[in-house]
């Protein structure tokens, strides 16, 4: 099962998909149910439960329809090119598998860029002061989930820089600028981000929970509180 309790959904893409527009309303409803199942499947984007493909009869029970209705709607979705099948006959979503692949590659590239930036820091040549580090290039170009993107360490975030960089290594820059950058910061009574609204609070909390045992050191013990309730 995927560690992500949420997934990206683009209403404009959904409503503008010509293949989806030609199938019936009931078939579109079945497809969004299947997407939710495939989001929790391994491999990601495949209609699997555990290590087995989800049978039509089981899918019918899950969504509360008859097997005949499910079969008819699957024919619709297949004929329109909405769903795909592997050579073994397992249903999958090409959009989901492609997005997942780009996301993993983009996250890996960002982590490597941050590690490289840290290794390239050179000590100061001034003998009268303790060794310092040169400021790395503020911007490093990396490949992200949607192609070429710009990774920036510059931010107006009020909290510690290592917190910003830790989120940047785990999430894309647009997400960090939308939810982390507007946050305030507090050190007491606990280290916490001060979310400006409930939407930011929910997204940051979900991100922290999804990291589980892989949480970066800078984010260990970190919590998030709503601005109105901050100490």
The predicted structure's pLDDT at residue 3: 58
pTM of the prediction? 0.48
Structural domains of the chain, with CATH? 11-92 (1.10.10), 155-229 (3.30.300)
pLDDT of res. 87: 95
Cis peptide leading into 43, omega within 30 of 0? yes
More confident position, 3 or 15: 15
Q: For 10-45, how does the pLDDT look when each residue is reduced to its tens digit (9 = 90+)?
A: 899 999 999 999 999 999 999 999 999 999 999 999
On whether the CB atoms of residues 78 and 90 are closer than 8 A, the answer is no
Contact between 45 and 93 (Cβ < 8 Å): yes
Q: Mean pLDDT lowest for which of 21-30, 88-97, 213-222?
A: 213-222
Give the Cα separation of 210 and 133 in Å (integer): 33
Helix segments in the chain, DSSP class H: 11-16, 18-21, 25-39, 56-63, 67-79, 94-119, 161-170, 173-179, 198-211
User: 52-56, 139-143, 161-165, 227-231 — which one is most confidently predicted on average?
Assistant: 52-56
- What sign does the CA torsion over 155, 156, 157, 159 have? positive
- For 86-95, 114-123, 185-194, which range has the lowest pLDDT when averaged over its residues? 114-123
Tens digit of pLDDT for each residue in 153-176?
678 888 899 898 988 888 888 889
What CA–CA distance (Å, rounded) separates 231 from 219?
A: 19
**166: CB partners within 8 A, 6+ apart:** 216, 217, 218, 219
Q: Look over the chain and give the mean of its residue pLDDT values, rounded to a whole number.
A: 83
């Amino acid at each position: 099962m995927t560690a992500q309790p949420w997934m990206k959904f683009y209403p404009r893409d959904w409503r503008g998909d010509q293949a989806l527009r030609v199938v019936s309303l009931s078939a579109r409803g079945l497809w969004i149910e299947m997407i939710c199942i495939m989001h929790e499947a391994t491999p990601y984007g495949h209609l699997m439960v555990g290590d087995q493909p989800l049978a039509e009869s089981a899918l019918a029970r899950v969504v509360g329809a008859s097997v005949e209705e499910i079969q008819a709607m699957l024919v619709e979705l297949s004929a329109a090119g909405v769903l795909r099948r592997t050579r073994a006959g397992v249903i999958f979503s090409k959009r989901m598998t492609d997005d997942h692949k780009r996301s993993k590659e983009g996250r890996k590239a960002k982590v490597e860029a941050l590690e490289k930036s840290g290794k390239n820091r050179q000590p100061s040549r001034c003998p009268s002061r303790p060794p310092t580090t040169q400021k790395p290039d503020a911007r490093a170009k990396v490949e992200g989930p949607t192609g070429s993107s710009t990774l920036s360490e510059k931010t107006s975030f009020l909290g510690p820089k290592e917190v910003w960089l830790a989120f940047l290594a785990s999430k894309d820059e647009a997400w960090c600028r939308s939810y982390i950058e507007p946050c305030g910061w507090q050190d007491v009574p606990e280290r916490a981000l001060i979310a400006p609204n409930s939407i930011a609070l929910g997204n940051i909390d979900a991100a922290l929970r999804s990291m589980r045992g892989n949480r970066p050191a800078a984010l260990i013990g970190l919590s998030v509180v709503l601005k109105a309730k901050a100490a």
